[in-house]
């Protein structure tokens, strides 16, 4: 029975680690997205960092990434930034593997 319990604990630990990694990757992706959007919005330095943080925090509104998309889309619309929905979503997709690589490198 001990072997089964050890295996179960190992699986639970792996699940928790994978969930934490996914959360960190998503947060990093959102920060990178926020920095990209900040540049298009004409923000620099501390203002760009603050905006990126707003984008990260917007992901806490609901499950999934639609809240992040709506944040960036709304800010682009308010400032008449010519980025289509597709361009924003493509940027989100491009940034995900970059964020994953950065998180995994930081864990080493």
The reported pTM is: 0.86
> CATH class for domain 2-107?
mainly alpha
* pLDDT band, very low/low/confident/very high, at 66 (cuts 50, 70, 90): very high
For residue 71, what are its two tokens? Answer: 């944040």
65-91 CB burial, b ≥16 within 10 A, e <16: bebbbebbbebbeeeeeebeeeebeeb
Q: Where are the domains of the chain?
A: 2-107
Q: What is the pLDDT of residues 11-53, one digit of tens each?
A: 776 666 667 888 999 999 999 999 999 999 999 999 999 999 9
């Amino acid at each position: 029975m001990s072997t089964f319990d050890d295996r179960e604990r190992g699986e639970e630990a792996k699940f928790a680690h994978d969930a934490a990694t996914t959360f960190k990757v998503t947060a990093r992706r959102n920060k990178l997205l926020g920095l990209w959007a900040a540049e298009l919005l004409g923000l620099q330095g501390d203002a760009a960092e603050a905006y990126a943080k707003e984008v990260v925090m917007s992901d806490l509104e609901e499950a999934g990434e639609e809240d992040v998309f709506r944040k960036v889309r709304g800010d682009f619309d308010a400032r008449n930034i010519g980025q289509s929905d597709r361009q924003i979503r493509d940027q989100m997709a491009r940034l995900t593997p970059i964020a994953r690589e950065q998180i995994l490198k930081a864990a080493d």
